[in-house]
Structure 1
Amino acid sequence: MTTSPRPRTTTRDPEALTRRLTAWLGTRLPGARATGATVPDSNGMSSETLLFDIDHPDAPFRSCALRLAADPAAYTIFPRYDMAQQYRTMQLVADRTDLPVPRTLWLEEDPGHLGAPFFVMERAAGRVPPDVMPYTYAGNWLYDATDEERERLESESVSVLARLHDQAPPAAAAFLGAGENPATALHRHVENQRAYYAWVVAGRPHSPVIDRGFEWLTEHWPKHPGETVLTWGDARIGNIVYDDSFAPAAVLDWEMAALGPRELDLGWMVYLHRFFQDLSESSGEVGLPQFLRRDRIEERYARLTGHTPRDMEFHTLYAALRQAIVMLRVAYRQVHFGEVPVPDDADALILHRDTLEAMIAGRYW
């Protein structure tokens, strides 16, 4: 695998954004100012994050994080950013489960203030496993941890999924849409991904490996998708803030939450680690081969919930396929900004192309 330059994550000016944020804060808390604003190194290309403090004696909490929908003029990664839905999902999880979700403070749906809808939440203190360079590379806090510390982090992370699926009532998340039929929920999820892929390749070359991946899903559709639960959607350790004891201090990024089978989250957690591990090994790194292994995740989850994961080949391949669509959009965004040339082969833009092809051929696991 080869890597291209890290794509830009924002087209916005943080200083101008901070000035506009201070003006908006005055409408919610007269006299309040946004201070110490910074953009985290891990800022994403979907919704953006701004970390800041509120300078006001009556502020409900001082350290805050703002999640702002992507600039619609910046060749966005997703076609739609429903900040109200994400805000509502976080409130549901905070109210109906024991997961550590940051306290939400304000939702602003009027794009006139900062250029797009946004919400403000409490900032969580702790450490996040890095994506760049990935936590599977030497030199970061998780790689340098002891086996026992990583064991605790793995166990606690699988517990996040178990508790979410067991505690959050699906009926309360009906606003996410999917119906009560488990098969309907999975079908809706996959059809949404098909629609997303069609949007990504509109006016651009299709990816043959992604096309084959969708064909594989149809041919290997689960006979019994299982019960419908609230799934996190972006269930990976890079979206968890951990405290010094390697336990979750905050579970973040709920923009991909959906109703569907439990295995949607399990497959995503398994595969997103495999993505980084495979990338490390292809670069000559050892990585963390004993960490977040599929068999261990499945065993832990079954022990915690009484539910034995099934059809995991389907769900891990589906996770790899979803990741491929996102990566293709990110690459086309780089092409749009002149960061990489237009390729002759669209599949060359997908870092884990070989992995996805091996999964489709049945020789990955």
Structure 2
Amino acid sequence: MSVENPPGLDLRRLRAHLDEVRPGLVAGPLTGELIEGGRSNLTYSVTDGVARWVVRRPPLGHVLPTAHDMAREYRVISALAGTEVPVPGAVLLCEDETVIGARFYVMDFVPGVPLRRAEQLVPRGPERTRALALRLVDTLAALHSVDPGAVGLADFGRPEGFLERQVRRWGKQLDASRSRDLPGIDELRARLAASVPDSGPAAIVHGDYRLDNALVDADDRITAVLDWEMSTLGDPLTDLGLLLVYLSDEILATPGPGDVHRAPGFPSAEELIARYAERSGRDVSRLDWYTGLAFFKLAVILEGIHYRYVQGKTVGGDFAYIGSVVPSLVAGGLERLPG
């Protein structure tokens, strides 16, 4: 239900700022609602009764702006406007924290819903489900075909040494979250470090690409790719490897991504890989390494949540069992990346 001031968003101050920097944009008083919470950036739907927009800001109480960089998200969706990658229209970025208490940006409202569960796909039928899954891969290939320099993102990241840094980064995260013995995780880390592939041409990497980070309309069109907070320049096969993990059976025990790959008609991993290779023209012969990296990354993330839980710093039903999921992710990585 829309309210006058949802948590974390003073709509009167937002309206005053919009009137100042985009006069004529808003036709009347604003109402809004928080449409996505959790540990990521906060997302609000805001309307003046005629038009609708979306506002994104960091979580409440957040004090490290580099971890929830509004300018970074705004920059990438602005840059991708006009490409084959569907993104919401960028309206404005505000880095003045005095307006609503945090940096924020406003983008156009895009119709569509995120799809997380197989039951959401079943009514569409097997043929439409298959076509939508292939469209998801086609959209990823389209993203990776965008020339970063041509859209003003030549300095958006450091692609040189990207994969080595990924292994080191998640290894350090693991070291900082050790509270128990995890058989196999150090072996997986060592295998990754010892067999880093040579990267192909750098591309814009989404960083968390999956079906429920996109909006899909009633005609099965992907109307927008969302949640660009982890985007950078790097090796695009990291996106594909992570997508495959999100579509694996090992992920089913986690409280995050769902089971869309269980819907009738959803293509196999082999079909999705072949489709990406065809559309992107990239060499996918070392894809098992990237999938192993994705398993390692998610295992470390969940182990970090488990560590905070056993330290008494996190509470909640999901957190109580999340540590039991980590071994299956480690096993998945070792299976994809044999010694």
TM-score bracket for this pair, using the shorter chain length: 0.7 to 0.9
Q: 1:145 aligns with which of 115, 124, 133?
A: 124
Please name the residue that 2:81 is paired with.
94
In structure 2, the residue matched to 1:359 is 333
Structure 1 counterpart of 2:120, which letter? Answer: W
* Residue of structure 2 in register with 1:205 after alignment: 179
Which residue is equivalent to 1:70? Answer: 59
- One-letter amino acid matched to 1:322: K
- State the match for 1:117 in structure 2: 103
Match of 1:48 in 2: 42
1:168 Cα deviation from its structure 2 partner: 3.3
Distance 1:356 1:247 in 2: 35
Distance 2:219 2:146 in 1: 24
Confirm or deny that 1:37 pairs with 2:14: no
SS in 2 for 1:112: coil
Instruction: Say which of 194, 198, 217 aligns to 1:243.
Output: 217
Question: Which residue identity lines up with residue 30 of structure 2 in the other structure?
Answer: T
Q: Do the aligned partners of 1:104 and 1:121 also contact (CA within 8 Å) in 2?
A: yes
- Check whether the contact 2:216–2:224 (CA below 8 A) recurs between aligned residues: yes
How many Å separate the matches in 2 of 1:211 and 1:340?
Answer: 28
Output the TM-score relative to the length of structure 2. 0.81
Percentage identity across paired residues of the two chains:
23
Q: Which residue of 2 aligns with 1:128?
A: 114
Amino acid at match of 2:194: E
Q: 1:176 aligns with which of 156, 160, 163?
A: 156
* Residue matched to 1:10: none
Task: Give the root-mean-square deviation of aligned CA atoms.
Answer: 3.5
The one-letter code sitting in structure 2 at the alignment partner of 1:85 is R
Secondary structure in structure 2 of the residue aligned to 1:17: coil
Relative to 1, partners in 2 of residues 1:264 and 1:144: Cα closer, same or farther, differing over 3 Å? Answer: same
Secondary structure, aligned partner of 1:144: helix
- Distance in 2 between residues matched to 1:341 and 1:157, nearest whole Å: 28
- The C-alpha deviation readout for 1:70-125, integer Å capped at 9, x for no partner, is 23459x9x971111111111111114x22111011111222333332211111111
- For structure 1, which runs of at least 5 residues remain unmatched after alignment? 1-12, 57-61
Equivalent position amino acid for 2:32 in 1: A
- Rounded Cα–Cα distance in structure 2 between residues aligned with 1:189 and 1:351: 22
1:252 aligns with 2:216: no
Distance in 2 (CA, whole Å) between partners of 1:211 and 1:117 is 39
Q: Deviations over 1:182-213 (max 9, x none)?
A: xx2322333343455556x2xx6267354443
Whole-Å Cα distance in 1 between the matches of residues 171 and 262 of structure 2?
Answer: 33
Provide the residue aligned with 2:285 in structure 1.
310
Answer whether contact 1:93 1:168 (CA < 8 A) is retained: no
Partner amino acid, structure 1, of 2:158 = A
Which residue of structure 2 aligns with residue 108 of structure 1?
Answer: 94
Question: 2:87 and 2:259 mapped to 1: Cα distance?
Answer: 37
**Which sections of structure 2, spanning at least 5 residues, go unmatched?**
none
Matched, 1:24 2:14: yes
Moved more, 211-220 or 189-198: 189-198
3-state DSSP of counterpart to 2:48: strand
Q: Does structure 1 retain, via aligned residues, the 8 Å contact 2:53–2:107?
A: yes
The corresponding residue for 1:157 is 136
Inter-CA distance 260–23: structure 2 relative to 1 (3 Å threshold): same
SS of 2:45's partner is strand
Question: How far is 1:333 from its partner?
Answer: 5.4
Counterpart of 2:200?
226
- What amino acid maps onto 2:193 in structure 1? T
Report the counterpart of residue 271 of structure 1 in structure 2.
245
Give, as a single letter, the amino acid of the residue that structure 2 aligns with 1:299: A
Counterparts of 1:337-348 in structure 2, within 5 Å, are 337-339=314-316
How many Å separate the matches in 1 of 2:260 and 2:140? 29
Contact 2:58 2:68 in 1 (8 A): yes
Using a 3 Å threshold, how does the CA distance of structure 1 residues 260 and 355 change in structure 2: closer, same or farther?
same
